[in-house]
Chains A and B, each alone.
Chain A
Amino acid sequence: MSDPLLVVRDLHVTYRSSRGPVPAVRGVSLHLDRGETLGLAGESGSGKSSMAMALLRLVPVGTTITGSVTLAGEDVLAMKPGRLRAVRWAEAAVVFQGAQHVLNPVHRIRRQIQEAIDTHRGNGKVADLLEQVGIPRWRSDAYPHELSGGQKQRVMIAMALACDPELLIADEPTTALDVMVQAQVLQLLADLQRDRGLAMIFITHDLSVLSTVADRLAVMYAGRLVETGPAKEMLRGARHPYTKALAAAFPTIGDQSSRLAPSGLAGDPPDPMAVPSGCPFHPRCPIATEECAATMVELHEISPGWEAACLKL
């Protein structure tokens, strides 16, 4: 049990496109213990979803994944298709963003949750699963369009729990929801995670969301990790200039000064096909120097359990 549940080493994900290969993830290494929650943050296009989906090889045909992904002691990238299908959902389930697209509109939700159970010959009960996520059993006959956005996301979570996975990959599970429902869903995920000892990778671009759920934080930029460390400390005082900018992008409620302060980050995330030399963040970085454009910077420890990829730290 002392082994980490998930170990990722030097993961690269390269998509194929008509313009040539697109390196979306460029060398990510991380690990996750059983029962631990890792918050994975970054802008759109930073490679966070690509990274997470590559853990189960859920990528389009033609995509190359290199490096190694070890889930519960097994190398995911070396698995045969049959074994991979067995591992999907049974060991690691996914809560997708936008549950309304992920549920098939023509089937009742009971049937769709049952589908997950049957695929792995599990013996979970649909009604029990629904109750765990706070949906009354009699709603199991509903079609997805009869449920609210929050309920649909709960159904998605119930489905994710159907085969009792060790790892939950939550890909922006609250993005499409309003703030109140978002808080409820987050609380639900946090409770389930605690009660079942689930390990979770929680992907979001909203750092404030992570304070509720995450033990550790990893921030991605241009397909690489730029900072990783304990969640509470990082949310209080991020060290990497990119994490700082990401944190500053959300105003603090009740703080008048943050309402008017310019707190965005100028510029766009880099085109994955033309990543800047040296530190990929240097063109947008407020403290960048010439050295940053020339030197490739690796993740290094800046204090115990806290790493950052920045020459200035």
Chain B
Amino acid sequence: MVGLALMTLFVAMALLAPVFANRSELQAAAGRNNPNLHAPNGKFWLGTDEIGRNVFALVMWGARVSLYIGLLATVVAVVIGSVLGLIAGYARGWVSRVMLAIDDFFLVLPFIPLAIVLALLLGRSPTIMALVIGGTFWAGGSRLIRAQVLSLRERGYVERATALGASSRHIIMRHVLPGVAPLIIANASLIVPGAILAESTLAFLGLGDRFSPSWGKVLEGAQASGALTLNAWWYYLPPGLCIIGIVLAFTLVGNALERIFDPRLGDR
């Protein structure tokens, strides 16, 4: 419940960002006439950054960017993970082994260096960041789905469908996919926080777009401008808390979903 409430809050933030802050406030020129690194007051609710931009606007718009990247990356990861997991679980022989090898490869790949290289090669727009994160985040989920498929494909109704003369595609879509759907959904809600965290990490390391900043990017700005040593808490605390909050929200919701779909997990 707490998770759901937090989640609603952040989604509302992302949706309502344009109501509270104009997009132009993110531009470097927007802070031209404002005081730099100014503490919060009536006009700048969360103070200003080192070039005079409104931190409140940055944080509101950051919700949008962070959620966009987190969700898009999750969609990408879930689609790749589900397709490969289904095939790896259902196929036998060399197809299954090749799938498993690809899965293993992505599972052990050190994420950050790879993502940095990819982002440098492909560009750093939010969409590309999401694709890069999604493209490397699917391996664990794929493994989970494969395990479930291995058990489902031995069910009587799969045998019946085979005897029926049904094609593998038909069997996977009609009989196996509905069985793993709850797992896919629960897993997806646990990928979201990972993806958001990964994006923040990459942004903090200097990747990402300066003028559509995610929370990680705002933190990078705070770090680079020395806000921490200058004790400009209004600059680094809000985006940091937001990241913690959203990760917590999705993790709580994900765990709750998992418990609903698999009551054997019990209360942990």
Q: Is the CB of A115 within 8 A of B163?
A: no
Residue of A nearest to B178 (CB): A106
Q: Enumerate A55-101 residues with CB–CB distance to B below 8 Å.
A: 56, 58, 61, 84-90, 93-94, 96, 98, 101
Q: Which residues of A contact B159 (CB under 8 A)?
A: 58, 96, 102
Q: Which of B160, B166, B175 has the most CB atoms of chain A within a 10 A radius of its CB?
A: B160
Q: Could you mark each residue 4-22 of chain A with 1 if its beta carbon is under 8 Å from any beta carbon of chain B, else 0?
A: 0000000000000000000
The total of chain B residues at the interface (CB under 8 A) is 19
- Shortest Cβ distance from residue B156 to the other chain A in the assembled complex, whole angstroms: 3
Q: Is the CB of A115 within 8 A of B165?
A: no
Q: Which residues of A contact B156 (CB under 8 A)?
A: 96, 98, 101-103
Is residue A148 contacting chain B, with contact meaning CB distance below 8 A?
A: no
**Cα separation A96 to B161 with both chains bound (whole Å):** 11
Residue of A nearest to B91 (CB): A61
Interface size bucket, A side?
Answer: 20 to 34
**Cα separation A104 to B153 with both chains bound (whole Å):** 12
Is residue A300 contacting chain B, with contact meaning CB distance below 8 A?
A: no
Main secondary structure of the interface of B (DSSP, over half): helix
Q: Which residues of B contact A89 (CB under 8 A)?
A: 163-165
Q: Could you mark each residue 235-250 of chain A with 1 if its beta carbon is under 8 Å from any beta carbon of chain B, else 0?
A: 0000000000000000
**Cα separation A103 to B160 with both chains bound (whole Å):** 8
Residue of B nearest to A97 (CB): B156
Q: Is the CB of B155 within 8 A of A119?
A: no
Q: Is the CB of A88 within 8 A of B161?
A: no
**Contacts known (A101-B155, A106-B178); A119 close to B166, Cβ less than 8 A:** yes
**Cα separation A159 to B161 with both chains bound (whole Å):** 11
Is residue B157 contacting chain A, with contact meaning CB distance below 8 A?
A: yes
**Cα separation A56 to B159 with both chains bound (whole Å):** 12
**Cα separation A85 to B174 with both chains bound (whole Å):** 17
**Contacts known (A61-B93, A96-B156, A101-B157); A115 close to B174, Cβ less than 8 A:** yes
Q: Is the CB of A58 within 8 A of B163?
A: yes
Q: Is the CB of A119 within 8 A of B165?
A: yes
Q: Enumerate B192-248 residues with CB–CB distance to A below 8 Å.
A: none
Other-chain contact of B167, A56, A85, A102, A106 (Cβ < 8 Å): A85
- Shortest Cβ distance from residue A179 to the other chain B in the assembled complex, whole angstroms: 23
- Shortest Cβ distance from residue A122 to the other chain B in the assembled complex, whole angstroms: 11
**Cα separation A119 to B173 with both chains bound (whole Å):** 14
Q: Is the CB of B163 within 8 A of A88?
A: yes
A residues lining the B interface (CB < 8 Å): 56, 58, 61, 84-90, 93-94, 96, 98, 101-104, 106-107, 112, 115-116, 119-120, 159
Going nearest first, the 10 A-B pairs with the smallest beta carbon separation are: A101-B156, A88-B165, A102-B156, A85-B165, A104-B157, A102-B160, A94-B163, A61-B92, A89-B164, A89-B165
